[in-house]
Structure 1
């Protein structure tokens, strides 16, 4: 696990975008894993800028989203299918047919989850997965207590998660109680994971993720088992890390040609 601590949000976004750009330019049919939420937004803005000004071409790229609310109709402004479309995919030249998420409207939820897993496998797996981090250590909608080997499935949201997400709805009462999410085992099969976290409210979750035990109480801690994970943090999110000085020293001395 590589931990990069930077003070500016734009620099973190630029580093993540560098990794995406290098992948897409070397492998035009790359498979991206896309997360919603505040953390990846600056990355999407930077990628849109590079598409518009630098000709970064997503025409052959495929993408899978992490999760989806259960029961929100197609086109609902807060369905993650619509959020990803609005924030990123409609602003670059990735085909709408090449972007797939879990089907939150499926009549047969287990079958829909299996079909989504099959689609990821059929695409050859995810090359680069972007992630945010919940204040309780969740990634995707894998709440604390999730199986570390879990696959795409239905989950019930913690009330804290519903409170955190209420800002996107008119009220907390409108936030669905259930979601479909890629499992932790699914995420672990991505070839490269980039997780972005900012703010003091994420500091404990970051420490549990990076320096705590691998345990279901902090689902993101499963990333310690992944061979290629990059954490992009601001100073506040990194403020509880015991080895923060070591992480800074390691990154400062890293050969630039390595990339992330």
Structure 2
């Protein structure tokens, strides 16, 4: 069966999802997307759904990317209407925002050059604004932006982040963080931007949890970087709640470099 590969740009409110990955008897983003596509191309059609980053339960996305392989005859009948039809079939807390034909060498997971997340924290005495309660953490202690950024600076670069990761057997915990910084938006919310080639499970939320204890004065700015000496998860690090975290962007190289990037990533992860 001849197929065409499609890149899907996806957004979702993670509050009522048990994460991205399909799970029996649980509502997941992959589950509702697969169901919607199945109603259009047949539930038994293999889609090869592959995602850039498997977000955990409660984590949101405005810039998630995945790919599927649709039969060419199905695509011929849906090309002009697939986006609109998915909008009618998907639940209101998950949207496919763009559908783009891509070469078969494109791999949403392995061709990616970076993932970028943001974590929102309100340190006002009254907590997050009600309309932002699903994507903003309330922090009861005032946060100092200079201390947050001092802590962040020590975590940038290629390191073994074992202290901040939930280790998986035969998987590396070495990652390359290329951007880690905090800003305070006009509404007063502190926002951490974290960008890396890839992340271990719970890594971003663990980094945020460590930096918040620096920002509120309970730890020194050098403490998060000192944990990089460890080769196992640190019990001193509290994982920040999932709902403050949003995947905002996934980067890819030029089209001609998709396959080479995917091969390099597979070798690195092995």
TM-score, L = length of structure 2: 0.26
Structure 1 or 2: larger helix share? 1
Structure 1 or 2: larger strand share? 2
TM-score, L = length of structure 1: 0.26
